[in-house]
Chain A
Amino acid sequence: MALTTALGRAAGKPTARPGRAASLRRRRISTTPYLFLLPGIAVFVVAIIWPAISAFQMSLYKWNVFNSALSRWSGIDNYVRAFQDPHFWLSLSNSGIYMVATVIPQIVLGLGIALLLKRKSPSQPVFRVLFYLPVVTSWVVVSLLFKYLFDDSGLINFTLHDFLHLEASNTSWLAGRWSALVVICLLGIWKGIGWSMMIYLAALQGVPESLEEAAEMDGANRWQRFRVVTLPAINPATVFVSVMLVIGGLNVFTSVQLITDGGPIGQTDVVLTYMYTQAFKYSDFGYASSIAVILAVLVFILAVVQLRVMRRDDTEELS
């Protein structure tokens, strides 16, 4: 009934004048928009929102994988366990190290290359494509590629040892926590520079040239023009890039899983590989869910703090 009225009204009765039909639609509740939303929202709620809620719910249970009805309510036990679990802290610190070590270089180098590529020239699209290539390549492929490059007898060791003579003997990159983290971080930076470069290129195109010229007239040198004119003008892009990179950094998973699988003996585990191990190796879904929830909350808080701080900087400079 409601459906037919809605369709009838949307079809526009020939008798009704268009203006009146529009105003009527504004006042009455039409089912048309809901029909357009229904399939998408249904899929979204079933596959995203409901799982998000049940992740939180599961984290409060000692979850029984074989028969979820037998799961035992355990309150905040899983969270207490996480905070007392040294390996959770180790994996959290590895995620944090990865985030800090990859976000800053991606922003600085991405912006630097964007500045160099800002001017339109015949070579600009070529460089743009080359720098963006790693971004479109799957994480699985580039992770395996880096594992191969940093193999004990791989290309990197050959270059450093046999070619440049920088190391006395071949480094076993993936055999130690810190050297393995270096490899994983280098991959993150290498793969991500093109993305931040592209965002900054777009943002730089929006900076009015008149502003720069005015600053130049006032006798500002290159660095001053960059600091006073360009940087504030591209601040929205910087906020966007750093928020996205922090979120992405804390969610590092595939590269660690494929390059070290958390090894040696779990030393390079990050939060999500630890979560994955707990869930799919030890079938401890409750504990794994609590780890996922802690990470999600942490990511959310960091994003909000960043938005607050960086937006405030912006307004202060304007006033």
Chain B
Amino acid sequence: MTSSALRLPGAPRKAPLAASSVFRYAVLIVGAFVMITPFLYMVSTSFQTQTFVLSTPPQFIPMPATTKNYQVALGTQNFALYFANSLIVAVISTAGSVLLSSMMAFAFARFRFPGREFLFRLLLAGLTIPAVMLLIPQFILAKNLQMLDSLGGLIFFYIAGSLALNTFLLRGFLASIPMELDQAMQVDGANAWTRYWRLALPLARPAIAIAIIFTFLNSWDEYPIALTMISGTDHATLPLAIANFQGQYATQWGVVFAASLIAVVPVIVVFLVFQRYFVQGLTAGAVKG
């Protein structure tokens, strides 16, 4: 209201603007309703007793509300273990990927050397290879390296899968840092590693934040690789465990969604805290493309 009054000095356009902003909000509210309702219904179901799941008419507010689904998920169904597995895999994959890709980005952004073009193009080619196409050969590779059904195997492939995009993102950012800073440090006798660790990394903090967030989310949510490589339940990650549980106990939707929310809530928290980085990260991809 106030903003539209401030924006427009000319009175005649006020009426149509008011109508259009009503329309605008109506569309946005309907859209947001469609986006959010499935989530709210999921939350509601996770607090329902089994009797009321898929009952007609559906229960929107669970009566009586129960936390039993969460107890089952975390207790008898071991989702605390899967949460820990997911956390280990996502944290180590993210740290490894950001370290390796920032080192590569540093080399690409700060040095000229034979093979630079070729290696960079090789990475870019990696971006165009659909991940699922690699499932079979990666499965065989993991088998040969004794990495099947282990968290280490997942971490290895998650790092590999995120390297190209992260390097691309970080290189763009590092290239924009003035060369003079490097040279000044060189005068002070700093070697390449010091310039990378003390200068490039701290200055690239915004881009690093983006890389961390996206790598973490992708590792946390990844399903196809986990599905092919993890066979037992000891090393299952949350997405795999949730899918397996639903496959086994098809009608236990309360437990399924309790487990799902255990998996989703950290992601939403990360997203809400860092959402401005999301915009930047996506822009970096779009503007270049």
A contact residues vs B (CB 8 Å cutoff): 7, 10-12, 14, 18, 21-22, 26, 29-30, 32-34, 36-37, 39-41, 43-52, 54-55, 58, 68, 113, 116-117, 119, 121, 123, 125, 127-134, 136-142, 144-149, 151, 153-155, 158, 162, 190, 193-195, 198-199, 201-203, 206, 236-237, 239-241, 243-244, 247, 250-251, 253-254, 258, 272, 275-276, 279-280, 285, 288-289, 292-293, 295-296, 299-300, 303
- Please measure, in the bound complex, the distance between the C-alpha atom of A145 and the C-alpha atom of B187, giving whole angstroms: 59
Q: B289 interface residue, CB < 8 Å from A?
A: yes
- Please measure, in the bound complex, the distance between the C-alpha atom of A214 and the C-alpha atom of B90, giving whole angstroms: 50
**What would 12 more interface pairs be, CB under 8 Å, given A12-B186, A293-B133?**
A12-B191, A18-B187, A33-B116, A34-B107, A36-B107, A51-B137, A116-B28, A123-B28, A144-B242, A154-B58, A203-B286, A272-B132
Q: What is the chain B residue whose CB lies nearest that of A273?
A: B132
- Evaluate contact between B28 and A138: CB separation under 8 angstroms: no
**Given A58-B137, A129-B272: A198 and B35 interface contact (C-beta under 8 Å):** no
Q: Name the B residues within 8 Å of A303 (CB-CB).
A: 128
**Given A11-B189, A127-B28, A300-B128: A139 and B221 interface contact (C-beta under 8 Å):** yes
Contact residue among A41, A139, A154, A190 (Cβ-Cβ distance under 8 Å from B223): A139
Q: B67 interface residue, CB < 8 Å from A?
A: no
- Sort chain B's interface into a size bin: 35 or more
Q: Name the A residues within 8 Å of B126 (CB-CB).
A: 44, 48-49
- Evaluate contact between A12 and B187: CB separation under 8 angstroms: yes
- Evaluate contact between A37 and B28: CB separation under 8 angstroms: no
- Please measure, in the bound complex, the distance between the C-alpha atom of A146 and the C-alpha atom of B67, giving whole angstroms: 23
- Evaluate contact between A136 and B279: CB separation under 8 angstroms: no
Contact residue among B45, B140, B186 (Cβ-Cβ distance under 8 Å from A68): B140
CB distance from A90 to the nearest CB of B (A): 18
Q: B253 interface residue, CB < 8 Å from A?
A: yes
- Please measure, in the bound complex, the distance between the C-alpha atom of A94 and the C-alpha atom of B242, giving whole angstroms: 26
In B194-225, the 8 Å CB interface with A consists of 196, 217, 220-221, 223-224
Q: B114 interface residue, CB < 8 Å from A?
A: yes
Q: Name the B residues within 8 Å of A144 (CB-CB).
A: 242-243, 246, 256-257, 260
Q: Which of B24, B31, B224 has the most CB of A within 10 A?
A: B31
Q: What is the chain B residue whose CB lies nearest that of A300?
A: B128
Q: B134 interface residue, CB < 8 Å from A?
A: yes
Q: Name the A residues within 8 Å of B24 (CB-CB).
A: 116
- Please measure, in the bound complex, the distance between the C-alpha atom of A136 and the C-alpha atom of B27, giving whole angstroms: 23
Q: B151 interface residue, CB < 8 Å from A?
A: no
Q: Name the A residues within 8 Å of B55 (CB-CB).
A: 153
- Evaluate contact between A190 and B35: CB separation under 8 angstroms: yes
Contact residue among A39, A142, A158, A299 (Cβ-Cβ distance under 8 Å from B100): A39
- Evaluate contact between A36 and B28: CB separation under 8 angstroms: no
- Please measure, in the bound complex, the distance between the C-alpha atom of A298 and the C-alpha atom of B263, giving whole angstroms: 35
- Evaluate contact between B128 and A154: CB separation under 8 angstroms: no
- Please measure, in the bound complex, the distance between the C-alpha atom of A247 and the C-alpha atom of B263, giving whole angstroms: 27
Q: B38 interface residue, CB < 8 Å from A?
A: yes
In B74-125, the 8 Å CB interface with A consists of 100-101, 103-104, 106-108, 110-114, 116, 119, 122-123, 125
CB distance from B37 to the nearest CB of A (A): 8
CB distance from A130 to the nearest CB of B (A): 4
Q: Which of B38, B41, B113, B260 has the most CB of A within 10 A?
A: B38
Q: Would you mind naming 11 contact pairs between A and B with Cβ atoms under 8 Å apart?
A: A11-B189, A36-B192, A44-B126, A44-B160, A44-B164, A51-B141, A113-B28, A113-B31, A140-B240, A279-B136, A289-B137
Q: Name the B residues within 8 Å of A145 (CB-CB).
A: 38-39, 42, 257, 260
Q: Name the B residues within 8 Å of A153 (CB-CB).
A: 54-56
Interface of A is mostly: helix
**Given A153-B56, A158-B57, A236-B287: A133 and B282 interface contact (C-beta under 8 Å):** no
Q: What is the chain A residue whose CB lies nearest that of B167?
A: A40
Q: B233 interface residue, CB < 8 Å from A?
A: no
**Given A26-B112, A49-B122: A36 and B103 interface contact (C-beta under 8 Å):** yes
**Given A18-B187, A137-B264: A236 and B163 interface contact (C-beta under 8 Å):** no
- Evaluate contact between A239 and B289: CB separation under 8 angstroms: yes
CB distance from B247 to the nearest CB of A (A): 9
- Evaluate contact between B189 and A130: CB separation under 8 angstroms: no
- Evaluate contact between A154 and B35: CB separation under 8 angstroms: no
- Please measure, in the bound complex, the distance between the C-alpha atom of A303 and the C-alpha atom of B114, giving whole angstroms: 29
- Evaluate contact between A240 and B106: CB separation under 8 angstroms: no
**Given A43-B100, A116-B28, A139-B221: A129 and B135 interface contact (C-beta under 8 Å):** no
CB distance from A117 to the nearest CB of B (A): 7
Q: What is the chain B residue whose CB lies nearest that of A158?
A: B58
- Evaluate contact between B123 and A198: CB separation under 8 angstroms: no
- Evaluate contact between A48 and B134: CB separation under 8 angstroms: yes
In B125-152, the 8 Å CB interface with A consists of 125-126, 128-141
**Given A133-B35, A253-B224: A48 and B160 interface contact (C-beta under 8 Å):** yes
- Evaluate contact between B279 and A47: CB separation under 8 angstroms: no
- Evaluate contact between A296 and B129: CB separation under 8 angstroms: yes
- Evaluate contact between A51 and B134: CB separation under 8 angstroms: yes
Q: Name the B residues within 8 Å of A116 (CB-CB).
A: 24, 27-28
- Please measure, in the bound complex, the distance between the C-alpha atom of A303 and the C-alpha atom of B289, giving whole angstroms: 12
- Evaluate contact between A125 and B275: CB separation under 8 angstroms: yes
